[in-house]
Amino acid sequence: MKTLQFFKKYTLQSLIAPLFKMLEAMFELLVPLVIAQIIDIGIANQDSSFIFSQAGLLFLFAILGFSCTFVAQYFSAKVAVNYSGDLREYSFKHIQSLSFEQFDKKSSSTLITNLTHDITQIQNGLNLTLRLLLRSPIIVFGAFVMAFGIDKKISLTFLFIIIILLIIVFSIMLFSIPLYQKVQDKLDKILNLTRENLTGARVIRAFNQQKKEKITFEKNNSELAASQLFAGKIIALFNPVTYLIINFGIILVLQQGAVSVNTGTLTSGQVLALYNYMSQILIELIKMANLTIQITKALASLRRIENILAVKTTEDSGTINQLTDSDIIISFEDVSFRFFDSHHDSLSNLSFDIRKGSKVGIIGPTGSGKSTLINLLCNFYQPTNGIIKLAENNITDYFNKTLSQLISLVPQKASLFKGTVRSNLLWGDNKADDENMQEALKLAQCDFIYQKEGLDTAVLQNGSNFSGGQKQRLTIARALISKSKILILDDSFSALDYATEKKLRQAINSLDYNPTIIIISQRISSIAHCDQILLLDDGKLVGNDNHQNLLKNNVLYQEIYKSQIKEASYE
Which among 339, 533, 399, 314 is positioned nearest to 390, based on CA atoms? 399
Measure Cα distances from 503 to 426, 499, 506, 526, 569 in Å: 24, 6, 5, 12, 15
**Fold of the CATH domain 2-309:** ABC transporter transmembrane region fold (1.20.1560)
Indicate whether this model's pTM tops 0.85: no
pLDDT at position 570 = 44
DSSP state of 43: I
pLDDT at position 316 = 62
Cβ-defined contacts of 425-430 (< 8 Å, 24+): 425/455, 425/477, 425/478, 425/481, 427/478, 428/477, 428/478, 428/479, 428/480, 428/481, 428/482, 429/481, 429/482, 429/483
Strand 347-355 and strand 328-337: pairing? antiparallel
For the chain, the maximum distance between any two Cα atoms, rounded to a whole number of angstroms, is 120
Q: What rounded mean pLDDT belongs to the chain?
A: 86
Which among 398, 259, 264 is positioned nearest to 322, based on CA atoms? 398
Q: What does 345-410 look like in DSSP terms, one character per residue?
A: -SEEEEEEEEETT-EEEEE-STTSSHHHHHHHHTTSS--SEEEEEETTEEGGGB-HHHHHHHEEEE
Beta bridge partners of 362: 520, 534
Across 479-556, the runs of DSSP E, i.e. the strands, are 486-490, 516-520, 532-537, 540-545
pLDDT at position 554 = 93
Per-residue pLDDT reduced to its tens digit, 128-171: 999 888 888 888 888 888 888 888 888 888 788 878 877 877 77
With a CB cutoff of 8 Å and minimum separation 6, the contacts of 459 are 416, 417, 418, 419, 420, 421, 423, 424, 465, 466
CA distance linking residue 7 with residue 87, whole number of Å: 9
Binning the chain into helix, strand and coil, the percentages to the nearest 5 are: 65, 10, 25
Per the rule left: phi > 0, alpha: psi between -120 and 50, beta: everything else, 334 is left
Which among 232, 221, 162 is positioned nearest to 197, based on CA atoms? 221
With a CB cutoff of 8 Å and minimum separation 6, the contacts of 437 are 421, 422, 425, 455, 477, 481
pLDDT at position 526 = 86
- Are residues 248 and 157 in contact, defined by beta-carbon separation less than 8 angstroms? no
SS3 552: helix
Count CB atoms within 10 A of the CB of residue 261. 14
Q: Where are the domains of the chain?
A: 2-309, 328-564
SS3 559: helix
CA distance linking residue 242 with residue 292, whole number of Å: 13
pLDDT at position 202 = 67
How many Å separate Cα 29 from the centre of its chain?
44
CA distance linking residue 352 with residue 362, whole number of Å: 12
Beta bridge partners of 398: 320
Per the rule left: phi > 0, alpha: psi between -120 and 50, beta: everything else, 518 is beta
Does domain 328-564 sit in CATH 3.10.105.10? no
Residues in the chain, pLDDT under 50: 568-571
Beta bridge partners of 55: none
pLDDT at position 251 = 84
Q: What does 280-293 look like in DSSP terms, one character per residue?
A: HHHHHHHHHHHHHH
- Are residues 492 and 472 in contact, defined by beta-carbon separation less than 8 angstroms? yes
Per the rule left: phi > 0, alpha: psi between -120 and 50, beta: everything else, 34 is alpha
